[in-house]
Structure 1
Amino acid sequence: MGSVKLQARLLAIILFVLGAGSIAYQIMVQKVPLTQSEKDPVWVVDAQVDFVARASKPVKVRMYVPPLDSGYTTLNESFISNNYGVNVNREKGNRQVTWSARRADGSQALYYRLMLTPRYASDSVENDPGPQFRPAPSLKGPEKVAADALLEPIRDHSADVETFISETIKRVNELDNDNVQLLLGSDLSPENRARVVDLLLAVAHIPAEPVHTLRLMESQEQEPELWLRSFNGKKWLYFNPVNGQQGLPADRLVWWSGQDPLLRIDGGKAPKVTFSVHQNEMSALQLAQSLKLKDVSSFIDFSLYELPLPAQQLYRTLIMIPVGVLLVLLIRQLIGMETLGTFTPVLIALAFRETNVIAGVLLFTSITVLGLSVRSYLEHLKLQLLPRLSVVLTFVVMMMALISLFGYKLGIASGLSVALFPMVILTMVIERTSIVWEERGGPQSVKVAIGTMIAAIFCHLLMVWDPLVYLVFTFPGLLLCQAAVMVLMGHYRGYRLTELMRFRAMVDEER
């Protein structure tokens, strides 16, 4: 007996570990939302290109756009223009869109829109190693002296590429230093500071390149923010050339890298690019479904959401049946409430799905009472079991039809739903109730019937609770955890709540 209990406990542990493991995998790896109402941020980035086309000349506008592996999941990318051809290609490690037209005249406006979200996004793909050495530029005169004077303490206070770049940025931003002033001249802009930092790094043979980013924050107009990056042999290092901040913040979107300007235009003049960023929200579940349509890997690929919608609706009902069974098991084993079998309350609860609880209880009670009267008379006729059940079933169908007809005449919609009560279930409930009445008396029969109805009501309320339906349907591993609890309950031999209340007086007397 001990080995059997041990096997049952081991089986329960295995089922629970498998169920909990699958749930943890969905939450941590697949990033499945825990609630149906969970929202995810969706960033909408707009870039508007305005320029004046030269009359009777071909127009070609080239602009860098973000890479698709920027650490975000791209939902949509749009190139909006009127009578322009659009082509996207790669140039120097960047993506570039080219708008072209044979003829254009006057003010022109081109639009680029990008929708992205952080959910389901993999880390930015930067596995391609960068250069680790570059030749030093040729400096002469005061610039060489100033660069050497700045680099000497930088070398003394750095231990590797990372600390060398940080120290260089720190020195260049000491604007009261004479050497820094000489290299910067009168231009103190971030672009010029980045140029001086890059110059000093080049003298030290350390390659670096500018990276232009956009901050994902609600804004009407925004200018790209300049950063520097360098490859240290293992990974790319990002630095802010103004304040020395290291590591690209999570809210930065890399737009393009390199010294080239964002926009180049042929056949036009007065170009201007305006950036605006807006934040929207989208249901995490709808987001996963939209990504599935775009052939982007998501948890929906391997879940019940992959089924057709009619099948999904069916399984949303079927998958909650074990939940109702578990509740009935707990009610019977822990509380001690008697019911007409284990599955009868669950099947009655399923019938309640098409009616409200009050109407369902009234319909069920009325049909059961009438059916018990018919069954009692048939018992008086000494009919055998099979003919008796057949007659009861026939009367149940007739009563269901009559109630539906009266409900229709009286304008009561709930009366029409009585036909959804399973006829066989009602017939068997009537039969079992009458047997309990004969064997254990009327009061006990009423008690069992009331217990069955209470259990059915609680099962119905639990099985239609939307948050729980979503959890069980989305995380089927919960069923394995329920099975583990059922296995453990199979060896429960302790007192039930009703037994504790029943023997309370005896325990008090012993004290």
Structure 2
Amino acid sequence: MRSLTLHLKVLIFLLVSLGVAITAYQIFILGIPVTEDETDDLWNIDAKIEFQANPREPVKLQMYVPPLNQEFVSLNESFISNNYGVSINRADGNRRVTWSARRASGKQTLYYRLVLTKRYSGEQTKASGPIFRDSIPVEGAEKIAAEALLSPIRQHSADVETFIGEAIKRVNNTSDDNVKLLLGGDNSVSNKARVIELLLSIAHVPMERVHTVRLVSELQQSPELWLRSFNGNNWLYFNPDSGQQGLPTDRLVWWTGDEPLLSLEGGRAPQVTFTLNNSEMNAIRLAKLTDENTDADFLEYSLYGLPLQTQLTYQVMIMIPIGVLVILVLRNLGGLQTLGTFTPVLIALAFRETQLGFGIILFTVITALGLSLRSYLEHLKLQMLPRLSVVLTFVVVLIAVISLLSHKLGLERGLSVALFPMVILTMTIERLSITWEERGAGHAFKVAVGTLIAATLAYLLMSIPQLTYFIFTFPAVLLIMVGFMLAMGRYRGYRLTELFRFKAFLKD
């Protein structure tokens, strides 16, 4: 007995642990939303390119577009132009689109449109980058000024991260004579980045320029320059103007390197205008879209991977254990008497079609009339099988009559009574009549009321949309429920109804 108890405890522990672990993995690692109402941001980015084409010359315009690596995933990308060929090339971690035309004249307008969202899943690839670089040649006064700045930078830094941060701080101190000399009167962000790169190169610290777009609903904006350096494990991002460290989550890396965003041959005066707007989409729908576009395993083994019609069926089926759990608690802890365990659950499923109030009335009427017929057939001394056949036929006829009357009276809800499980109703009538004969009318009535109460509670719980979504999305919760059911299986204590029955024993 002790070994059996230990075996049961171990089994319960394993089931509950597995259910909790899988559910936690889906929520915290895969990022699956806990509620159906959760939405995620969807960003629409428009890049409008305008330029003047030279007459009788071929046109070739190149523009960097986002690489869309681990942080974001593209849902739709389009290149809109008239009579232009389009091709995309990849180089040094960047993507570059090329528009080309044999002839063009006058003002030209091209569009690049991108719809993206944060990536839901997918393992982050291990970062890699250079950890050493050669020094940029510098002579004369610039060399002396750079070395004068590097001396305090080395003293106040302990590693690559603090070294870069200190260098940015020094360069932004434009009152320093050495900084003034190196900047040459140009205090723009790009020139500050050039001086920072010079100082870092003397210390053999590699640095890259990163051009980003801020994901915020603004009419227009221009790419923002950031700097990044690889410390051997991760990329470290720095704002060359403010010294802020760490790339904000609302920044999208558009391209890296020293080259400009646009390059144009056969035209002049190119300019690009960025326009962004934000919308929201249901989180699960968005997850399915990202899964289709990235070949990730996010939803591959979930119930959302099934055909839509099959999903609707499983959304009903997967709630049956919830109803069974309700009946188990009501019977084992509450002491409520019902017609078995599954009959109330099946009646609760029928209530999904008829709705609760109308379903209770129909169930009561059909069961009462069926019991009357069953009582009459008992006087004919028929065997069980013929008797059940007559009752079943009577139930079918009764359902048809009720549906017809409901239709004539304009009560369309009554038409759904045809979806009631006729066999369940027939067996319910048969079992109630047997209980009536064996235990009396009072007990049969009590069991019938208990069955209706249990079916009503099960229906109310099984009809909660948030619970249906949660169980369907995280089916591993059923393992936790099985563990609870196993624990309930060894309960031998008093039921709540028995506490009232034996209340007299508590008196002095």
TM-score band (shorter)?
over 0.9
Letter in 2 for 1:77: E
> Where does 1:188-227 land on structure 2 (aligned, <5 Å)?
188-227=187-226
| Distance in 2, Cα, partners of 1:167 & 1:295 | 40
> Where does 1:241-260 land on structure 2 (aligned, <5 Å)?
241-260=240-259
Structure 2 residue 196 is matched with structure 1 residue 228: no
Aligned in 2, Cα 1:91/1:5: closer, same or farther, shift over 3 Å?
A: closer
Greater Cα shift, 49-58 or 484-493: 49-58
| Distance in 2, Cα, partners of 1:292 & 1:455 | 41
| Distance in 1, Cα, partners of 2:29 & 2:274 | 34
* Distance apart, 1:505 and its partner CA: 3.9
Q: After the TM superposition, which parts of structure 1 deviate over 6 Å for at least 4 consecutive aligned residues?
A: none
| Distance in 1, Cα, partners of 2:279 & 2:420 | 45
Q: Give the conservation status (yes or no) of the 8 Å contact 1:87–1:97.
A: yes
Deviations 1:241-272 (A, max 9, x none): 11222222222211111111111111111111
> Where does 1:49-128 land on structure 2 (aligned, <5 Å)?
49-69=49-69, 71-122=71-122, 125=125, 127-128=127-128
Letter in 1 for 2:50: D
| Distance in 2, Cα, partners of 1:61 & 1:3 | 78
Q: What does residue 25 of structure 1 align with?
A: 25
> Where does 1:454-465 land on structure 2 (aligned, <5 Å)?
454-465=453-464
| Distance in 2, Cα, partners of 1:5 & 1:242 | 68
Aligned in 2, Cα 1:322/1:63: closer, same or farther, shift over 3 Å?
A: same
SS of alignment partner, residue 210 of structure 1 = strand
SS of alignment partner, residue 217 of structure 1 = coil
| Distance in 2, Cα, partners of 1:342 & 1:417 | 24
Aligned in 2, Cα 1:102/1:131: closer, same or farther, shift over 3 Å?
A: farther
| Distance in 2, Cα, partners of 1:305 & 1:121 | 15
Q: Give the conservation status (yes or no) of the 8 Å contact 1:59–1:101.
A: yes
Aligned in 2, Cα 1:447/1:272: closer, same or farther, shift over 3 Å?
A: same
| Distance in 2, Cα, partners of 1:162 & 1:375 | 86
* Distance apart, 1:398 and its partner CA: 1.5
SS of alignment partner, residue 146 of structure 1 = helix
Q: What does residue 427 of structure 2 align with?
A: 428
* Distance apart, 1:299 and its partner CA: 2.9
Q: What does residue 388 of structure 1 align with?
A: 387
Q: Give the conservation status (yes or no) of the 8 Å contact 1:53–1:269.
A: yes
Letter in 2 for 1:392: V
| Distance in 2, Cα, partners of 1:121 & 1:477 | 19
Q: Give the conservation status (yes or no) of the 8 Å contact 1:30–1:298.
A: no
Q: Give the conservation status (yes or no) of the 8 Å contact 1:194–1:228.
A: yes
| Distance in 2, Cα, partners of 1:234 & 1:286 | 35
Q: Give the conservation status (yes or no) of the 8 Å contact 2:128–2:233.
A: no
Q: What does residue 148 of structure 1 align with?
A: 147
Structure 2 residue 293 is matched with structure 1 residue 294: yes
* Distance apart, 1:70 and its partner CA: 5.1
Structure 1's unaligned 5+ residue stretches are none
Q: Give the conservation status (yes or no) of the 8 Å contact 1:47–1:111.
A: yes
* Distance apart, 1:126 and its partner CA: 6.5
SS of alignment partner, residue 301 of structure 1 = coil
| Distance in 2, Cα, partners of 1:169 & 1:323 | 60
* Distance apart, 1:472 and its partner CA: 1.3
Q: Give the conservation status (yes or no) of the 8 Å contact 1:132–1:231.
A: no
| Distance in 1, Cα, partners of 2:269 & 2:431 | 89
* Distance apart, 1:193 and its partner CA: 0.9
Letter in 1 for 2:341: T
SS of alignment partner, residue 382 of structure 1 = coil
Aligned in 2, Cα 1:45/1:123: closer, same or farther, shift over 3 Å?
A: farther
SS of alignment partner, residue 269 of structure 1 = strand
Aligned in 2, Cα 1:13/1:123: closer, same or farther, shift over 3 Å?
A: closer
Q: Give the conservation status (yes or no) of the 8 Å contact 1:70–1:253.
A: no
Aligned in 2, Cα 1:26/1:213: closer, same or farther, shift over 3 Å?
A: same
Letter in 2 for 1:488: A
* Distance apart, 1:92 and its partner CA: 3.8
Letter in 1 for 2:13: I
Greater Cα shift, 40-49 or 337-346: 40-49
Q: What does residue 139 of structure 1 align with?
A: 139
Aligned in 2, Cα 1:273/1:295: closer, same or farther, shift over 3 Å?
A: closer
Greater Cα shift, 368-377 or 197-206: 197-206
SS of alignment partner, residue 220 of structure 1 = coil
Q: What does residue 443 of structure 2 align with?
A: 444
| Distance in 2, Cα, partners of 1:118 & 1:93 | 19
> Where does 1:358-377 land on structure 2 (aligned, <5 Å)?
358-377=357-376
Structure 2's unaligned 5+ residue stretches are none
Q: What does residue 179 of structure 2 align with?
A: 180
Aligned in 2, Cα 1:470/1:121: closer, same or farther, shift over 3 Å?
A: closer
Q: Give the conservation status (yes or no) of the 8 Å contact 1:48–1:110.
A: yes
Q: What does residue 6 of structure 2 align with?
A: 6
| Distance in 2, Cα, partners of 1:146 & 1:349 | 83
| Distance in 1, Cα, partners of 2:470 & 2:83 | 50
* Distance apart, 1:122 and its partner CA: 4.9
SS of alignment partner, residue 64 of structure 1 = strand
Q: Give the conservation status (yes or no) of the 8 Å contact 1:136–1:205.
A: no
| Distance in 2, Cα, partners of 1:37 & 1:187 | 51
* Distance apart, 1:360 and its partner CA: 1.0
Q: What does residue 46 of structure 2 align with?
A: 46
* Distance apart, 1:425 and its partner CA: 1.0
Aligned in 2, Cα 1:294/1:232: closer, same or farther, shift over 3 Å?
A: closer
| Distance in 2, Cα, partners of 1:299 & 1:165 | 38
Give me the TM-score of the superposition, normalised by structure 2.
0.96
Q: Give the conservation status (yes or no) of the 8 Å contact 2:61–2:263.
A: yes
Q: Count how many residue pairs are aligned between Structure 1 and Structure 2.
A: 508
Deviations 1:3-25 (A, max 9, x none): 32322222211111121121112
Q: Aligned Cα RMSD in Å?
A: 1.7
Q: What does residue 162 of structure 1 align with?
A: 161
Letter in 2 for 1:110: L
Deviations 1:204-254 (A, max 9, x none): 333322111111122111121111222233332222111222222222211
| Distance in 1, Cα, partners of 2:482 & 2:90 | 54
Letter in 2 for 1:452: T
Greater Cα shift, 187-196 or 383-392: 383-392
SS of alignment partner, residue 382 of structure 2 = coil
